[in-house]
């Protein structure tokens, strides 16, 4: 299970690939009375109160606009529900239809999908979870399963090169050598290099910083439908481990994994999001990882796309919508 894996503290919060730009709102201002569509799953809020869930593709009517927040009405059988939604979560109907056709939204994909004939090899050492995940991915994509310990040594070597610029800061934290960052299991830096050099036919490996769960879900769904597993770290105060995601079911909200069995979306989001930070040396390493934007949420995956510019989708300026005012009457 890789219980000592410093690998998985390097859970990298990443910039999003081009398809995830669907999460961004259109550039122009929305107008009162206009029909819009939820570009991704969101919630209607008034202050801190959640008025209702809004699945991606739901049609809404604009009531008013206040900065980055849009007051909208959602029609249900029980009546009209009103609340605020961030403008980045909205799109014009025609633009949303284009995104669906281009595979840039979850609605473009099946509700569930499992990789066919995926084989998971037993992990050979407690500290080689990253290499085991890389081996499983490579076997499924290329048909070749390199020796796990060879992959592990290569990952550690690539990490050492990729993280050597942190040597002075690591010493200040009490870590004598950058190699210590990966000698317990590997980092995304090494995973990307080791997997990437073994891929063929125009495929490449990448890892991205993805703060929003819905955006991580889209990367996973798209990759599984392309026939490619996704590697992700899961972290708690006592467990640091790389897992390989091999399928999903959006109706039951569960992932299938090679080493964790079935994992609910909520559990994955918690384990993949650093809700706790270990103490001691590991905690100090986490501190540095977070400062380097390499300590939150990460997906390592196969792609044919060019790498996106750093800086992808972030959260709203505030975790709550505006208060019950400015064009949104109380229900």
Confidence class for position 101, pLDDT limits 50, 70, 90 = confident
Least confident of 33-47, 141-155, 162-176, 299-313: 299-313
Position 311 confidence tier, pLDDT thresholds 50, 70, 90: very low
Domain carrying residue 130: 6-20+112-303
CATH code of the domain covering residue 67: 2.30.30.40
> Does residue 316 fall inside a structural domain?
no
Same domain, 126 and 272: yes
Work out the angle between the directed axes of helices 188-196 and 129-142 (0-180°, nearest 10): 30
Q: Is residue 317 part of a domain?
A: no
Residues 68 and 201 in one domain: no
Tell whether 49 and 76 lie within a shared domain: yes
164 & 217 share domain: yes
In CATH, what number is assigned to the domain containing residue 169? 3.90.70.10
> Quick check: helix, strand or coil at residue 92?
coil
Least Cα distance to 211 among 291, 293, 297, 275 occurs for 297
Given 80, 108, 136, the domain boundary residue is: 108
Q: Could you tell me if 211 and 75 lie in one domain?
A: no
Q: Total domain count for the chain?
A: 2
Q: Give mean pLDDT, residues 291-297.
A: 63
Most confident segment among 76-85, 142-151, 239-248, 272-281: 142-151
Q: Which carries the bigger pLDDT value, residue 25 or residue 229?
A: 229
158 & 102 share domain:
no
> Are 100 and 118 contained in the same domain?
no
pLDDT at 155 over 50: yes
Q: pLDDT of 165-214, one tens digit each?
A: 777 777 777 777 666 655 555 778 889 999 999 999 899 999 987 888 88
What does the DSSP assignment read for 32-73?
Answer: TT-EEEESS-EEEEETTEEEEEE-TT-EEEEEEEETTEEEEE
Binned at pLDDT 50, 70 and 90, residue 75 comes out as confident
pTM of the model: 0.70
Between CA 258 and CA 143 the distance in angstroms is 17
pLDDT value for 183 = 57
Are residues 233 and 301 in contact, defined by beta-carbon separation less than 8 angstroms? no
Average pLDDT, the chain: 78
Q: How confident is the model at residue 138 (pLDDT cuts 50, 70, 90)?
A: very high
> Does 151 share its domain with 224?
yes
Q: Does residue 226 have a pLDDT over 90? A: yes
Average pLDDT value for residue range 306-324: 47
Q: Would you call 31 helix, strand, or coil by DSSP?
A: coil
146: Cα within 13 Å, side-chain hemisphere: 21
Residues 38-60: tens digit of each pLDDT = 888 888 888 888 888 888 889 99
Q: Which two tokens stand for residue 118?
A: 């995926």
pLDDT at position 219 is: 94
Burial class (CB in 10 A: 0-12, 13-18, 19+), 301: buried
249 within a domain of the structure (yes/no): yes
Q: Within a domain: residue 312?
A: no
């Amino acid at each position: 299970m890789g219980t000592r894996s410093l690998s998985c503290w390097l859970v990298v919060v990443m910039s999003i690939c081009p398809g995830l730009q669907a999460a961004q709102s259109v550039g122009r201002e929305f107008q009162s009375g206009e029909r819009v569509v939820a570009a991704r799953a969101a919630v209607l809020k008034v202050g801190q109160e959640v008025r209702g869930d809004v699945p991606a593709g739901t049609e809404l009517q604009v009531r008013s606009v206040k900065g980055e927040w849009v007051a909208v009405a959602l029609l249900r059988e029980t009546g009209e529900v009103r609340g605020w939604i961030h403008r980045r979560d909205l799109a014009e109907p025609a633009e949303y239809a284009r995104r669906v056709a281009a595979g840039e939204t979850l609605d473009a994909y099946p509700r569930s999908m499992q990789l066919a004939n995926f084989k998971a090899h037993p992990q050979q050492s407690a500290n080689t979870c990253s290499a085991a995940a890389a081996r499983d991915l490579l076997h499924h994509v290329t048909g070749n399963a390199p020796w796990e310990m060879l992959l592990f040594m290569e990952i550690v070597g690539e990490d050492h090169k990729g993280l050597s610029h942190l040597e002075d800061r690591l010493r200040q934290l009490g870590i004598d050598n950058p190699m210590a960052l990966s000698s317990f299991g590997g980092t995304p830096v090494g995973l990307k290099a080791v997997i990437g050099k073994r891929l063929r036919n125009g495929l490449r490996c990448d890892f991205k910083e993805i703060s929003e769960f819905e955006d991580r879900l889209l990367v996973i769904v798209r990759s599984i439908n392309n026939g490619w597993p996704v590697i992700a770290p899961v972290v708690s105060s006592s467990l640091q481990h790389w897992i390989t995601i091999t399928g999903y079911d959006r109706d039951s909200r569960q992932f299938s994994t090679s080493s964790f069995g079935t994992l609910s979306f909520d559990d994955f989001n918690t384990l993949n999001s650093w809700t706790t930070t270990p103490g001691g040396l590991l905690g100090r390493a986490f501190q540095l990882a977070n400062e380097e934007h390499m300590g939150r949420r990460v997906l390592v995956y196969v792609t044919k796309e060019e790498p996106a510019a750093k800086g992808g989708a972030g959260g709203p300026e505030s975790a709550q919508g505006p208060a019950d005012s400015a064009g949104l009457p109380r229900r």
